[in-house]
Structure 1
Amino acid sequence: MKNLLWSVEEMKRNDGRAPEELRKMEAKTGIIKRADGSAMFRIGETIAYAAVYGPRELHPKFMQNPEKGLLRCNYNMMAFSGSGDRVRPSANRRSREISMVIEKALEPVLDLTAYPNAVIDIFIELVQTDAGTRCAGICAAAMALADAGIPMKDLVSALSVGYLRNEIVVDINGEEDMNEGATDIAFACLPITGEISLLQVDGEIKKDVLLKALEKAKEAAKKIAEVQRKALKERYHDKHDA
């Protein structure tokens, strides 16, 4: 049977990975010249681009807050990005909901009180998708904020963790995500401190299993952070060598 999620012989996943193995990752920064900061993050076949503009004065003025700035995210899944359905290019309710989730995941690393009456805009485009889209968007956005020179107390690293066939698996792919009865956990944290900034559980899972899944997610997030930091360091050296 071709669609088995696990190989009987090797007890591996449908793409050959071990339960705690991440898909191949790639990250770059400074890819959109007109933006104040930008980044690309790829994990498996999911590719996210992020561009940061600001901090800049918030308009209209009635939205300004003299005590703190605003972090505003716009998440968009491009048409024919590989999700299986044609995605409307215009904003929709799901995109707005995910945008708000990403804002909340990123806010803990920023001191928005340093930017009264201002806004930091983040635009995220998913150009290709195979599960873990919001998590890839968070990774790209965190790198873009750092590339923009905005002070951050840490990066934010994110991934999807699954619980299927009584096994915890990190970084689920599209086929695993569609598996009936699977539990999908969207997770983001500050890799240095381990502080969780996003936790969304879709499906049923026991508390003790969830706690084990979170520990595996934190370890995987450290590996993602290494890829993010490497890309930022390469960008820094390129700037100073130019």
Structure 2
Amino acid sequence: MKKYLFALPVFCFFGAALFAQPAGPGCLLRLDSVYYRLYDDDAGDYRPTGIKRYWYDAQYRQIKYVEEKSSFDNPFQLYPYLHELTAYPAADQRTILHQQYDTTGGQWKNTYLDSLTYAPTGLLVHSLGRIWDDATQTWVNNAQFQTTLYPNGIYHVSDFFLWNTNTNQWDSTQHIEYNADGNITYLLLFNNSREINTYDGNGQLIEKLKKKWTAGDWQNQTHLLFAYDDQQRMTER
């Protein structure tokens, strides 16, 4: 018995939009749904295994997403699985409520909440992720990202954090610094490793120094030097 899986996207016409991003000029379509079907030789037909559906507001922004899928025990019976509700509190803000279907209770249950803020250029400048706590019926901090931008609108310094439930404080996990060309000059993974990159006047990487956190101190690990020929191709050094 041979089985083949394929996905069939279905588009709806909005006149000025294409799936995934806020609508812009020149776009013609926006994704309405995606169907997953499995061909069963025994039945001689394609049978459903999953479906994803999308909804949009009057500005062609995604506001709802629902996914249904089949189970391993019953591969051709669809069940509710994931549910996302997206809101736009302000022009530069977006919240995404993630829910999963509770088959026992027969209802959608909160799982995760993303709160996102964007720069005028569309770059993400702050995000806050929270996990739903069933016991207290509240949202609990989980992950956070924040960044500053250069005047030209590209990333300058970015920091990542995880919420420490023991201290009720944010623990830094990653720190990244960029130059004005958008290249990473410094990457720090707290209590793990860090990289220091150096670039030439053409924006090409010429040195990479990597250190590892060992016994309470940063120890040199690798040191790489790069050179380029007259055609700007990397050569050994």
| TM-score category, normalised to shorter length | under 0.3
Higher relative contact order (CA 8 A, sep 6+): 1
Q: TM-score, normalised by structure 2?
A: 0.27
Q: From the CA coordinates, give the structure whose radius of gyration is larger.
A: 2
In the superposition, the TM-score normalised over structure 1's length comes to 0.27
| Structure whose residues are more often helix by fraction | 1
Higher relative strand content: 2
